[in-house]
Amino acid sequence: MTEQAQPTFSIEKIYVKDLSLEIPHAPQIYLQLDNPKLNIEFGTSGKPVEDGIYEVTLVANVSATLPDGRTVFLVEVAQAGIFQLRNIPESDLEPVMMIGCANILFPYVRETVSDTLTRAGFQPVLLQPVNFEALYQAQQEQRAASNDEQDQ
Contact 19, 44 (CB under 8 A): no
**Total domain count, the chain:** 1
What pLDDT, on the 0 to 100 scale, is given for residue 7?
92
Q: Is 11 left (phi over 0), alpha (psi -120 to 50) or beta?
A: beta
What pLDDT, on the 0 to 100 scale, is given for residue 45?
95
Residue at 64 is within a domain: no
What pLDDT, on the 0 to 100 scale, is given for residue 148?
77
Residue at 83 is within a domain: yes
Domain carrying residue 146:
8-19+47-59+77-151
Amino acid present at 141: E
The predicted model scores a pTM of 0.89
What pLDDT, on the 0 to 100 scale, is given for residue 1?
42
Contact 55, 78 (CB under 8 A): no
Residue at 29 is within a domain: no
What parts of the chain have a pLDDT lower than 70? 1-4, 152
Q: CA–CA separation, 104 vs 152, rounded Å?
A: 39
Q: CA–CA separation, 10 vs 98, rounded Å?
A: 15
Residue at 122 is within a domain: yes
What pLDDT, on the 0 to 100 scale, is given for residue 2?
45
Residue at 12 is within a domain: yes
- Residue 89 is part of a domain; what is its CATH number? 3.10.420.10
What pLDDT, on the 0 to 100 scale, is given for residue 35?
86
What pLDDT, on the 0 to 100 scale, is given for residue 3?
55
Residue at 87 is within a domain: yes
Residue at 24 is within a domain: no
Contact 54, 47 (CB under 8 A): yes
Q: Tell me the C-alpha to C-alpha distance, in Å, between residue 67 and each of 31, 32, 99.
A: 15, 11, 35
